[in-house]
Chain A
Amino acid sequence: MSFFPHLLLALLEGTVAAAVLALSALGLSLVFGVMRIVNVAHGEFFMLGAMLAWWIAKMVPGGPLAGFLAALMLAPALVGLLAFATERLLLRRIGYDPEATIVATIGLMFVIQQLALSVFGADAKPVAAPFTYRIAFPWFGFSGYKLFVVAASVALLLGAWWVLARTRFGLIMRVTQFDRETATAFGIPVNQVYAAVFVIGAALVAVSAVLIVPIQQAHYLMGLDPLLMSFIVVIIGGLGSIRGSVLAALIIGLADGVISMFFTPTLASIIATLAVALVLVVRPQGLFGVPAR
């Protein structure tokens, strides 16, 4: 394939990768930003969303579109419910202590993985996209659904930005993020905000899983990858900055696609990983974050 089509493909793939990254990181960015805790089970919430999408699509009659819509409603609700229980029974009881949260959510990660294995089985599960449309370029074809994921990702991110920047609930979240004590002093029920943020974060990652799973497939060990990638995106972008996360996702997604045009893929991954580390060394607050007070 000659240079231009190759580059076009790399850019298309990079955009899709960026959308996938931004989508899976959105929930983590919110939780991480507002609550300042690392939820290691974030990837498992993603996996559960994908598994539920598969299961619901199997249960709901009427073709892939009906299944997809049903999953889009039900999967976030169920994952949100689990997140609510986690917040109430676990995180609140340990007082959102950062280290204890890591250990507890590692434990939760194992529990969810094992339950998913026992309930859904070990096989990789394909989920049909709600529609199939192949865009035929002169040099190659490209999945129309992948571009739909890009569009959906943009819409979700805009929505999240709007809620945070323009609504009262967004204001409350921002105040809580800024300083927990101040928020309490202003009469903000911090505990309830935390619960809401944790549940919304989990529901968001479930939504992204339902959107993404037709271009991948559901598997009980799929959670590690979105977890790591979300971490990178959120940290590089800067804590709690959704705009930063989006930019980081774009940079990483596109860079990965283009770098792998020139190097062997494993070497490309090594370079990309080292680059992330070095960015953080130079700017520990992330590319777009402000230094910690």
Chain B
Amino acid sequence: MTDTRLIVPEKKRISRRSALKLAGTGAASLMGGLAAGPGFVRYAQAQSSEPIRVGFQVHRTGIGAAYGRWYEQTTNAAVKLINEQGGINGRQIEIIAEDDATDPGRGAEVVEKFATQHKCDVAFGTLFSHVVMGSAPRAGELKLPYYVVSEGHHVASGALNRYTFQPGITDVKSQVISMAPWIAKNVGKKVAMIFPDFAFGYDHRDYFSAAIKAQGGEVNALIPIPPTETSFTRYFPQIPADTEVIYHVMVGPAVLTFVKELGEHFGSQHPPLFGFIDSLEAVDLKSPGLEFLEGSYLWEAYPRFAGASPTAADTFYRGKVGVDANGASVADPADISTYSHMFGCWETLYIIKQAMEAAGYQGAGDKAKLIEATEAITTIPEGNEHPQGDKIFNGKIHQSFGHQNITQVKNGVGEVVYRTTIEEGLYEPEADYTKMPL
């Protein structure tokens, strides 16, 4: 990255701000015949000794709470470590966590709170796609850099804005297309897809269908399941007899029932399964009813089981977060983490640190520089900061791309059978955020 890219002309920023003020004044006088606008946009000048305030939008309640708890534990571990190592530009990180109830309306309010009440430097950590969608417009408008850890395709699709990034976890489109070659080669080419009947499921449906076709395979049945469903047996007759692979991705607590019923329905005679671990995050693979998963394949962003030869970075990361080699809490082996997603919080915090240091970030006035510094990131090396593996970052679509893993369940333990290359998950960028004004 060059210096010239990072410097924002001071004049331009001021003129934009006064334009905003002018527009506000016009509106106010339109409404109430008033002469002076209330000077809405006020940034506190941060002192360099003050901590950097990171607003953490966390799903403590609502449907995302099982994930939220682990996102919080990972975030706290990363912040503790960064602070022990001297913080960012010599300043400590302070986490300001607020519950968004896994609700897009509340999520938007929380982002407003971060920007204007807590005076956060950045906001971070959102997982569920609908909360990201509800919150991102507010972050963009309030010019609050917003780093999500969601794996949704929303950021890379161009639907959001210049201030929203997803640098810590690969998006679902990339995950899905990187799976297709291996599935076609090793499991089967006729795929029956079972997916939730809403946006997240449609991403799987659309991107995987196209990707498997490119491998000479086909999707022989699309079985969408409504998100309110608690029983699944009646959908199973829709799986054609000649199916070679059952591809399943489900979210929400009903997934255990889903797998259990699949087992009851098919017994020992069934096509091989390929599933996304999203279904089984925070769930013990040895739970009653999950015996059916034995031998099946799972996508994992970051393998839950450390295996025989974990990397030094993985061991380091597990130790700091408090997770054992089985992906369970060190304090309680029955308490399974959301291992395949929560690393995104850790890695995103290190991206924020990297970008802030590159931008020489001093305070709220440097937010534009921070955006440009984040966009300027290209490669992310593997290491303690990025234990999941190396990644590349596309600044135009604000999205990172990493390796994905295919795990086979053997004796209730996941064992990695294939690790994709980054290239297998790349696709043509659909947008260019860098052309949007700051």
Contacts and interface: CB of A to CB of B under 8 A. Distances in A.
B63 interface: yes
Contact of A124 (B68, B197, B256, B261): B256
A257 to B, nearest CB: 6
A143 B257 CA distance: 12
A225 B228 contact: yes
Interface stretch (A9-17, A161-169, A278-286): A9-17
Given A122-B69, A141-B267, A221-B63, A265 B229 contact: yes
Contacts of A5: 237
Nearest to A5: B237
A264 B61 contact: no
Interface string B316-345: 000000000000000000001000000000
A137 to B, nearest CB: 10
A16 B257 CA distance: 14
A269 B228 contact: yes
A9 B233 CA distance: 8
Contacts of A215: 231, 257
Contacts of B61: 114, 117
A126 interface: yes
Interface residues of B, number: 39
Contacts of A260: 234
B287 A126 contact: yes
B398 to A, nearest CB: 29
B264 interface: yes
B271 interface: no
A220 B68 CA distance: 15
A216 B254 contact: yes
B281 to A, nearest CB: 9
A197 to B, nearest CB: 28
Nearest to B259: A126
Given A266-B224, A269-B228, A126 B237 contact: no
B16 interface: no
Nearest to B236: A140
A10 B231 CA distance: 12
Contacts of B257: 215-217
Given A124-B253, A266-B224, A1 B237 contact: yes
A219 interface: yes
A6 B241 CA distance: 13
Given A124-B253, A217-B256, A10 B66 contact: no
Name the residue among B61, B62, B336 with the largest chain A CB count within 10 angstroms.
B61
Nearest to A228: B228
A71 B237 CA distance: 34
Nearest to B266: A141
A124 B224 contact: no
B65 A266 contact: no
Contacts of B264: 134, 141-143
A286 to B, nearest CB: 24
B50 to A, nearest CB: 33
B111 interface: no
Interface string A154-195: 000000000000000000000000000000000000000000
A123 B237 contact: no
Contacts of B231: 13, 16-17, 215-216
Interface string B116-146: 0000000000000000000000000000000
Interface in A126-163: 126-129, 134, 136, 140-143
Q: 9 tightest CB-CB pairs across the interface, nearest first?
A: A122-B65, A124-B253, A128-B288, A219-B253, A1-B237, A122-B66, A143-B264, A126-B287, A13-B234
Interface of A: 1, 5-6, 9-10, 13, 16-17, 64, 114, 117, 121-124, 126-129, 134, 136, 140-143, 215-217, 219-222, 225, 257, 260-261, 264-266, 269
